[in-house]
Structure 1
């Protein structure tokens, strides 16, 4: 009889142990996943005004965006009572002499009524230069003609007084700072200019901008009415002045005003033929010069577009064609003091986009800039916040 071979007890224990360990290691329920780490995303600062504007833009139709680029005039006192549906979405209103009531309290009520949304007020503008050009008659601060021979500090004081008056009656934009250099007393712009040299005018332009804050200052009439003889209300003033000569003289007050913080520049209907055969309003080159050479990143607005129609130049007689050309050139906003076919302009812009002559991104960029400017006036701008890259909402 052959006896069975004996297996040592410790070997049996080891075998069982290894088997159990193997089973445990391969059991899905017992697998411990390796820890994962999400890379830390650096917080970014979100500008609530820019965020609001971007969000608002995404909800707007093309019609609303184009209308937001228009500033119009509604004749008569209490203009809000006569705003038609065609103008319901315009971005701004200009007050002329016929809009000014007998009391400042009534004017304040009238300007307040122009905005339907407290969070996105329209731009309310006027021409308050002082002297021969003023809409609010109680303004007795010194004019440019009086200030051109005084210390520049006097300009700050005058425009601080002027700005306080405008702010008190609800005007947010002043087309009141003439940055044109005029040494010739026969020039129609002479009485409205701060100086006969770029340096003299520039020093006073800068003081005017700083003085009338928080009113949104506008520098006019780019690239400089003093360089071109004639009146752009009834013609297209033209000059052959070279770019270098312009840069050393007529550009200076605009540079100084931009450096002082002016948020708007008004384009004049002026031809500088050595730079571009087109009036500056229609000139992409002059817009490039303003932004690239002078460093301006604010709102560019045309002078009254009706002036082009009245210039006597047949090419500029069509209002809707002019509007498309002005937008293509780079204007952020178009100003109309007389009658305006707002629906016709919208249709013309839409057609230009459909035909590939105008990129809708140009409209979006302008509308966004105007939304930011208007939101900044609301008092409901919220605060800068820190959030991660996927942050989509902020305190408003």
Structure 2
């Protein structure tokens, strides 16, 4: 049985009876973890084993684990600095900053791959214009060249740990103040302005072999009337044709306010897939998942299936081996020194 296009979230720290059934629904292709799914390392390992045992397919396991304020697992994991704090060092020592970015990418990925989690939705490629509260310190920098350089090294570290990378939020969420979790952000800039700045990191990273992209739930009004994640123009004309991207396109969470313009959950799912997304995500609203499963009729194209399967993590050491690894110790110590000092 092949993997489906929908990412499922879980309600707690172990599979519920309903989730035992859901993991084998043909439309499900993976699971995204949240902080509510984590208590201890041992509990997470048990949950992952439970998922693997319950599912007849090798579902993709994923999490938002960027560092800074977006890190779902904290106790018994290295506390990772924000991307902005890593980017701040670039002005004084670019070589050192790139080396630190690579170590951060490796450490983030290594601690997840050692537990059989396939990937984190990282890194953020949005530019820091100083206005977006939802982006903020999740961004490396305002300068697209610095964002590109640091992200390339971060992704090199991820790959060394066996993890594929996801650049977000295409074509750039940093210029709008509104948070697409709670509003429908509208970016009034021209395509030329977006292309000159925000698109540059995506262009560079695609040329460097970026595995996946997540579009923003932002309407770029002068370009298209639909949010990027529901826009054939952004996904097919710009991302696929002009930028030559061949990897996987994830929708952002269809439960976010920025997605409500596309209708019901099933209608949002259909719209995102028709626009060119390979995988869709509906989180924190179980009724939304059920609506999609009940009403979406969809057969995953062969090209999308290959992209989905390409996100599976590569073989990596066990958690016990990682904890005894000099590379982990070095990276762990480095990240600790880069954290903000608490007065």
TM-score w.r.t. the length of structure 1 is 0.69
Instruction: Specify the alignment match of 1:78 in structure 2.
Output: 14
Indicate if the aligned counterparts of 1:121 and 1:377 stay in contact, CA closer than 8 A: no
Q: Does 1:166 align with 2:109?
A: no
User: Partners in 1 of 2:132 and 2:172 — Cα distance?
Assistant: 16
Indicate if the aligned counterparts of 1:118 and 1:378 stay in contact, CA closer than 8 A: no
Change (3 A) 1:285 1:94: same
Instruction: Specify the alignment match of 1:147 in structure 2.
Output: 86
The one-character-per-residue Cα deviations of 1:123-179 (angstroms, maximum 9, x if unpaired) are 111011111110120222332021111222211111111111111122111113111
Max Rg structure: 1
Unaligned stretches of 5+ in structure 2?
Answer: 90-96, 317-343
Residues 1-396 of structure 1: matches in 2 within 5 Å? 68-79=4-15, 83-89=19-25, 90-102=28-40, 104-116=41-53, 120-137=57-74, 138-150=77-89, 151-184=97-130, 187-213=133-159, 214-288=162-236, 289-307=238-256, 310-311=257-258, 315-338=261-284, 339-342=286-289, 344-346=291-293, 348-350=295-297, 363-374=301-312
Indicate if the aligned counterparts of 2:240 and 2:246 stay in contact, CA closer than 8 A: yes
Indicate if the aligned counterparts of 2:187 and 2:219 stay in contact, CA closer than 8 A: yes
User: Partners in 1 of 2:115 and 2:204 — Cα distance?
Assistant: 28
What's the offset of the Cα at 1:119? Answer: 9.5
Unaligned stretches of 5+ in structure 1?
Answer: 1-55, 58-64, 354-359, 380-396
Ranges of 4+ aligned residues in structure 1 off by more than 6 Å: none
The one-character-per-residue Cα deviations of 1:30-84 (angstroms, maximum 9, x if unpaired) are xxxxxxxxxxxxxxxxxxxxxxxxxx66xxxxxxx6xx10001011112376514
User: Partners in 2 of 1:259 and 1:201 — Cα distance?
Assistant: 15
User: Partners in 1 of 2:243 and 2:16 — Cα distance?
Assistant: 37
Aligned positions, number: 301
Give the aligned CA root-mean-square deviation in angstroms.
2.6
